[in-house]
Chain A
Amino acid sequence: MRKDKILMIVGSLLMLALFSYPLWKITLVAPQYPEPLGLNIHIDKLTDGVQFNDVNNIDLLNHYIGMHHLPTEVNIKKGAVEAFPEFTYMPIIVGIMIVLGVVVGFLGRKKLYIAWLGLLAVLGTLGMYDFYAWLQKYGNELDPNAILKMTDPKTGEVMAYNPPIFGYKKLLNFEVYSYPSESAYFLIVAALLVAIAWYIAPKENVKL
């Protein structure tokens, strides 16, 4: 089989990792948490990032500042919060992309390669925006009856607690780190492989 075809197929199959590994990871360090708390964000769920029960423990701490509950298994079950709709449709989108990628690979058409890659870029950007929107929602929509109501000493406004989408931010006693996780790296490699496939693929007018 042609190398570009193999790269295209392998590249899209790498996206299977998204079903197993987290896409993003938020880590929280505080004086009381020398061993940090961690939140793994998958395409379909939230999981403990560092130790057992991290998600529930972060959720428990969030109630001090009046944050919405996280869609943990426990919270969804008792109806305290609804699951993010993304948890339902993200796996479907990823599944479709993989199938499309494999089909495109078999077809072996250069233009389709770049089209698939473009689609991935668009979806990725939308995904990042979506992530940003959730962080904004969680950071700003605070319960007016929250235990701790902090105001920004500079602006005098109610303090928001948006975790960073990328990098480091200090939120009260927590040092928050937000970085891509395993699946994100799989995705980058997948995109690179497909880009190479596109680059080395024979021009469209060449008959298969």
Chain B
Amino acid sequence: MKTIFKPLFALATASLMLTGCGPEASSHSGKKEAHNSGALSGSVAEKVYVAPGEHDEFYAFISGGFSGQLAVYGLPSGRLFRVIPVFSQDPEKGYGYNEETKPMLMTSHGMIPWGDSHHPDISQTNGELDGRWVFINENNTPRIARISLTSFETEEILEIPNSAGNHSSAYVTENTEYVVAGTRFAVPVPQKDMPIADFKGNFKGSLSFVKIDPEEGHMSIAFQIRMPGFNFDLAHPGRGKSHGWFFFSSYNTEEANTLLEVNASQNDKDFITAINWKKIEEYIANGVGTKEPAKYAHNTWNDKKHTAETVMEDEVLIINPEEVPGAIYFLPTPKSPHGCDVDPTGEYIIGNGKLAAAMTVHSFSKMIKAIDDKAFDGESYGIPILNFEAINYGTLEQPGLGPLHTEFDTRGNAYTTFFISSEVVKWNVESLEVLDRHPVYYSVGHLMIPGGNSRKPFDKYLVSMNKITKDRYLPTGPEVCQSAQLFDISGDKLELLLDFPTIGEPHYAAGCPADLIASKSQKIFKLDENEHPYAVKSEAETKVVREGNEVHIYMSMIRSHFSPDNIEGVKVGDKVFFHVTNLEQDYDVPHGISMIGAQTSELLIMPGRTETFIWNPKQEGVWPFYCTDFCSALHQEMQGYIRVSAANSNVPLTFTLDDDVPGTEEEL
């Protein structure tokens, strides 16, 4: 007996070892392959090499996550060009510090210096990227920002009332009719003092439709749907045949208010909510909806006055689902779906059930038929739940572990990220077959194909944005860099081309061909069009004016001096306003300015712009200011002095440049 058992035991052990090795071995070999191909094959290097002076083929706008910003990269090189300040102060650019941009960060809670930016999306016309604006949401204090793709500056920020955790945002419809906002953390609406345990049935999850002005891009909340208190997670618009619909994934249909990791993972299926916004528009036109009081900030940048303004809005149009029968349905989707992605044709709605081992593909045409046939499996809070079999196109079995997000190419394929198994999987939507898979390093969140949220993806590259980097780069202490990985998806197989570090944290991204934007990129702001109330158009207009204890310096900067650069008669306790205009009208000639002891950031002023900072002199003396941006050969000479006298001093207020009062004598 013993002799028989021994070989059997050995066989069993060996097979266990083999299977045990399986995944680990494959991931190791995957990594090795990546290293080897980088070292051995010149073709990969050539694919990402952008020669000095050459331009990248694509722009990638990658969210800065908990930095609150939006970073601009080039693809395929992965080079970082600019970090656009959006929801957080940026002392480098004076954003949120100078007097002009402070209102951009105003909310109903007061000024907030930080935000959590998540999902950028580029404006569209007829379902294709038009390169006018990029929208991005803020998760923590719900907001949506609009960023100009000519100035690459934040032009507008709209707060979303009656919401918390604005995660399922800022996705645009195919003619940029709407940008949506959702609610991941249901809250009492309106807010009130009540026991947390009474969450179920009482907390609400608002879904907001923000109307975009087609000319100027200005945002306004058209209506807000007062949904049950589920956690609305992600969203995508219908397109083509499903244009007019919007799809939001949700989890925690259990409506748990504590230990969600367990208590919100109990239901076998949660919902994707399908909203027919065109139908809701019709209802609203017929008088449906109630205007309710709500306080939220609307911050708009005025490009003529070079100044932002905050308007506190006071009401919002509320739609209750029972008021709009036939406009809202629940699509049952297995296991806490995260990503909710719609393919370029608009037919397939992919539910990435993050706790499921399968991907759910719903069919839009089957959904419409199910609605017509009233194929309902009951309802939840008065909203019909469609029968799963009636709407389901099919299921992709065992594609990987922890599916999060899906993007598409133009050849009928989908690419899905798997957080737990740390890989990107390519599969065919119609045949539901896995075609290829590639490990990522490590634990990928979103992925992006330029034009991914549109009818026309530019399916040459795929960028995966990873949550963990561990050993991929030189270590930098406990916090290591965030990262993205670039794949070539033009062939049958995913080919890993490049790792590149990003600012933290890269959630989603939006990409587009460079030629859609590059030629429209603004070079200067025309001085003639500058309507800033403290602007000067020439050195002759520069002056210093005292109004009580406020001193207003109307200052100019041009290579390579300030005017005036000698100021006397400022007193301890004064509030000194530096209103500084960059008189340059030449490309890439910004000037900066800062003053010793100023308790704020520098100003970094683009040609033709006017910006303001405040300095509170606290001590007598002669204090210098200087240009902070190496502007020219004489940059080191670009400086000036302010004499500060005692509060009771009689030193007269004077201001000069080269010993003359500006404007009184011209050099000939």
Contact = CB atoms under 8 A, between A and B. Distances in A.
Interface of A: 35, 51-53, 56-57, 60, 64, 74, 78-81, 147-148
Interface string B221-239: 0000000000000000000
A18 B285 CA distance: 61
Contacts of B585: 52-53, 56-57
Contact of B666 (A35, A51, A56, A80): A80
Is chain B's binding surface mostly helix, strand, loop or mixed? loop
B558 interface: yes
A78 B538 contact: yes
B596 interface: no
A60 B666 contact: no
B540 A60 contact: no
Contacts of A81: 668
Nearest to B608: A53
A147 B634 contact: yes
Interface residues of B, number: 16
A161 B607 CA distance: 28
Contacts of A51: 523, 587
A81 B585 CA distance: 20
Contact of A80 (B523, B559, B668): B668
A60 B586 contact: yes
A78 B666 contact: yes
B51 interface: no
A51 B586 CA distance: 9
A80 B540 CA distance: 12
A74 B538 contact: yes
B666 A79 contact: yes
B633 interface: yes
Given A74-B538, A78-B540, A60 B558 contact: yes
B633 A64 contact: yes
B634 A60 contact: no
Contacts of B586: 53, 57, 60
Interface in B520-560: 523-524, 526, 538, 540, 558-559
B667 interface: yes
Given A51-B523, A60-B584, A81-B668, 14 more contacts: A52-B526, A52-B585, A53-B586, A57-B585, A57-B586, A60-B559, A60-B586, A64-B633, A64-B634, A74-B538, A78-B540, A78-B666, A80-B666, A80-B667
5 contacts: A51-B523, A60-B586, A78-B538, A78-B540, A78-B666
Nearest to A32: B588
A8 B540 CA distance: 52
Interface in B544-598: 558-559, 584-587
Contact of B668 (A74, A79, A147): A79
A78 to B, nearest CB: 6
Top 10 A-B pairs, shortest CB-CB distance: A53-B585, A57-B586, A80-B666, A79-B666, A78-B666, A60-B559, A56-B585, A80-B668, A147-B634, A78-B540
Contacts of A52: 524, 526, 585
Contacts of B559: 60
Nearest to B588: A32
A122 B634 CA distance: 46
A60 B561 CA distance: 12
A57 B583 CA distance: 11
A50 to B, nearest CB: 11
B660 to A, nearest CB: 14
Nearest to B558: A60
B480 to A, nearest CB: 37
Contacts of B633: 64, 148
A149 to B, nearest CB: 13
